[in-house]
Amino acid sequence: MSKLTESPAWRALAEHQRHIEPLQMRDLFAADHGRAKRYSLECGAIYLDYSRHRITDDTLRLLFALARQANTSAWIERMFSGEHVNNSENRAALHVALRADQERFPAAGSNGTPDVMPMVRAARARAYALADTLRGGSIRGATGKPLCHIVNLGVGGSDLGPRLLSRAMRRQSDSSLTLRFAANADPADLDAALTGLDPERTLFIIASKTFTTVETLSNASRARAWLAASLGDAPELSTHFAAVTADEAKAHGWGVPAERIFPMWDWVGGRFSMWSSVGLAAVIAAGPAHFDNLLAGARAMDVHFREAPLERNMPVILALLSVWYSAFFRTQTHALLPYLEDLREFPAWAQQLHMESNGKGVDRDGQPVDYPTSPVIWGSSGTPSQHSFHQLLHQGTRLVPTDFIVPRSSDGDAATQHLLVVNALAQGSALMTGAAAAEPYRVLPGNRPSSTLLIDKLEPHALGQLLALYEHKVVAEAALLNLNPFDQCGVEFGKSVAQSIERGQQTEQLDASTQSLLSRIEPWRH
C-alpha cells in the first residue's frame, strides 16, 4: 500500500464515501435550499456551480484536508517559482511565463532559475510582427503573391492547442485568411487540408518542439513537394515556410529561413505550449491584440490559482472532484461537454492535457501507484452529444462525472444561445434528479454528478481563463496524486517499435501477432 492510500486524509475519504454512496443529491437539495449558492464560485468570466455533486460539507472538508496533506499550495508555488517540478527531466514548468506581464519570471531570487521574460517577450514580438506583416498583405510567396492560406503542420501539443484557439477565436479572425491543420501521417489529412488552397499564397507553419516527429516531418516534405509541383523547386520556396521549434538548428537545416524560425523551450511542455509561438496560426488569424486578450485571461486565472485559498480555488476544486470520483467511486472516465460549437476542439485538447500529464502508473518518487490516476477524458460539443451518447450518461451502468461548459451570453442571436443554455442545464438537472416511470426501461436512476461552468461570451479573455483553468486543474490533480504531470515517457516506446518495424529490423523479435499481421500487409508480405 502506498503512503498516499495509507494516509489519514485518504483513509478518511474512503470511509466517508461509504456514507455518501447511498445519499441522493435530490434529497440533499431538498434539505438545503442554499446548496446551489453555497457550492458555487465565480472567477472572472467563469461561474462554477458544483452543487450537483455527491458531496456534503463534510466531503469538502475532507477533500480540502487531502489537498493540504498533499501540500497543494506549496506545489503551486513551486511551479510559479521556477523550481524543477518536472523532476524526471530535471526541468521547470514555466508555461505560465508565456502569459506573464511581470518584469521578471520567475520572480527575482527564485532558486536560480534564470529570468525567461526577455526571451518570451522577444519571441512574442517576432510572432506578432510576422502576423501583422502577413495580415497587411506584405509577406509574399515565391511568385510575389501575398500569403493568405495558412497551414499548420504539427501533432499533439503542436496541433491541438493552435487548432482549438483558431476555432474558438473564429469570430475575431480575419475571414480573408484561410486556416488549415494537418497532423496525421496519413496523407489524406494533408491532402484534405490543401484542398482548394493556392500554392502561390500558402504559408506552412512546421510546429514541432523536437523537430523530429515523424508525422510532422513527413507532412512538411509533402507540403514542399506540393509547392514544387506547382511553383518549381526553387530556393524561393523557403518563403512559404515558418517553423516553431526548440531545435532551431534542425529547422534551419531543413530549409526554414532563420528569420521565420520561432523558438520553443524545454521548460514548456508541448501540451502547455499554445500560449507561445506554437499558437502562431491563431495569432495570424485573430491578430496580436486578440491574442494579447487571450494571454490576459490566462494570466487572470494564474493569479487566482496562485492566490485563492484552497476552499475558493476553482482549479483545486475541479481537481478534488475528479479525484473524489476516480479514486473513491472508482469511476473510469470523465466527460467534457462544451455547449459552444466554437469549443468543439476543447475535448480533444483536454484529452492530451489530462491523459498525457496524469495517465501515469508511477508516482513522482518512482513508486508504482496503488490508486487510480487520470480518468479517461472524452466528450464532444453539445447539443449533438445528446443525440449520441447521453443515453449512456442517463441510463447506463457507469457513473460518468461530466463538465457542462455553457455560454452565459453570446454575440449570436439570443434564441440560439437560449436553446444551448436550456439544453445544457436540462441535461445536468435530469442527470441529477433522474425520473421515475411505470416501465423499468423508462426509469432514469439520477444521482449522476456534473459541474456546470457558465462562461461569459466566448471572447479571448474568457477563453484564456477557461483553458488556463483546466491546465491548472491538471497540475493540482497531479499534486493530489503525487504525480509528475510534465513528462510523457509512455509515448516513446511505441515510437521506437514503429521505427524498428519501418526499418525492417528485428521483426523476428516482434510478438507473434504483429509478425502475423505484418505478413498479411504489403510490403511486408513475403
Catalytic residues: 356, 387, 495
Identity of residue 63? L
When the beta carbons of 156 and 449 are compared against ligand F6P, the nearer one is: 156
Neighbours of 512 (CB within 10 A): 7
List the grid coordinates of 386.
445528446
Residue 147 has what DSSP assignment? P
Going by C-alpha positions, the residue among 354, 352, 478, 428 that lies closest to residue 87 is 478
Considering only 141, 157, 407, 434, the residue that binds ligand F6P (CB under 6 A) is 157
When the beta carbons of 34 and 494 are compared against ligand F6P, the nearer one is: 494
- Write the DSSP assignment of 224-264 as a string of letters: HHHHHHHH-S-GGGGGGEEEEES-HHHHHHHT--GGGEEE-
Helices (H) and strands (E) in the chain, counts: 19, 11
145 CB contacts (<8 Å, ≥6 apart)?
Answer: 198, 200, 201
Identity of residue 236? E
- CA-CA distance, 233 to 150, in Å (whole number)? 20
Stretch touching ligand F6P by CB under 6 A, among 117-125, 155-163, 322-330, 496-504:
155-163
Stretch touching ligand F6P by CB under 6 A, among 156-164, 363-371, 440-448, 453-461:
156-164
The interface mask with ligand F6P, positions 202-221, x = CB under 6 A, is ------xxx--x--x-----
CB of 263 to ligand F6P, least distance (A): 13
When the beta carbons of 441 and 493 are compared against ligand F6P, the nearer one is: 493
Q: What angle do CA 358, 476, 484 make, to 5 degrees?
A: 40
Identity of residue 173? S
Residues that bind ligand F6P (rule: CB under 6 A) add up to a total of 14
When the beta carbons of 270 and 428 are compared against ligand F6P, the nearer one is: 270
When the beta carbons of 265 and 324 are compared against ligand F6P, the nearer one is: 265
Q: What are the backbone angles phi and psi of residue 334, rounded to the nearest 5°? A: -140, 130
Stretch touching ligand F6P by CB under 6 A, among 27-35, 151-159, 293-301, 513-521:
151-159
List the grid coordinates of 31.
434539505
CB of 184 to ligand F6P, least distance (A): 13
Does 156 interact with ligand F6P (rule: CB under 6 A)? yes
When the beta carbons of 168 and 207 are compared against ligand F6P, the nearer one is: 207
- CA-CA distance, 298 to 460, in Å (whole number)? 9
Stretch touching ligand F6P by CB under 6 A, among 30-38, 149-157, 177-185, 390-398:
149-157
User: How many residues in total does the chain contain?
Assistant: 526
Considering only 271, 290, 299, 364, the residue that binds ligand F6P (CB under 6 A) is 271
CB of 93 to ligand F6P, least distance (A): 13
When the beta carbons of 305 and 349 are compared against ligand F6P, the nearer one is: 349
Considering only 106, 141, 199, 270, the residue that binds ligand F6P (CB under 6 A) is 270
Identity of residue 196? G
List the grid coordinates of 313.
480555488
The interface mask with ligand F6P, positions 475-504, x = CB under 6 A, is -------------x--x-------------
Considering only 158, 172, 358, 374, the residue that binds ligand F6P (CB under 6 A) is 158
Q: Which residue has the cell 476543447?
A: 346
CB of 196 to ligand F6P, least distance (A): 26
Q: What are the backbone angles phi and psi of residue 419, rounded to the nearest 5°? A: -65, -40
- CA-CA distance, 118 to 217, in Å (whole number)? 30
When the beta carbons of 158 and 293 are compared against ligand F6P, the nearer one is: 158
When the beta carbons of 66 and 160 are compared against ligand F6P, the nearer one is: 160
CB of 75 to ligand F6P, least distance (A): 21
CB of 154 to ligand F6P, least distance (A): 6
Q: Which of residues 47-106 bind ligand F6P (CB under 6 A)?
A: none
**Alpha helix segments (H runs only) across 6-155:** 8-20, 25-31, 35-38, 57-69, 72-80, 117-135
CB of 497 to ligand F6P, least distance (A): 15
Stretch touching ligand F6P by CB under 6 A, among 73-81, 150-158, 376-384, 514-522:
150-158
3-state SS, residue 378: strand
CB of 357 to ligand F6P, least distance (A): 10
3-state SS, residue 47: strand
Stretch touching ligand F6P by CB under 6 A, among 154-162, 191-199, 419-427, 475-483:
154-162
Neighbours of 340 (CB within 10 A): 22
Q: Confirm if 338 and 421 have CB atoms less than 8 A apart.
A: no
The interface mask with ligand F6P, positions 335-374, x = CB under 6 A, is ---------------------x------------------
- CA-CA distance, 484 to 503, in Å (whole number)? 33
Residues contributing to the site for ligand F6P (CB under 6 A): 155-158, 208-210, 213, 216, 270-271, 356, 488, 491
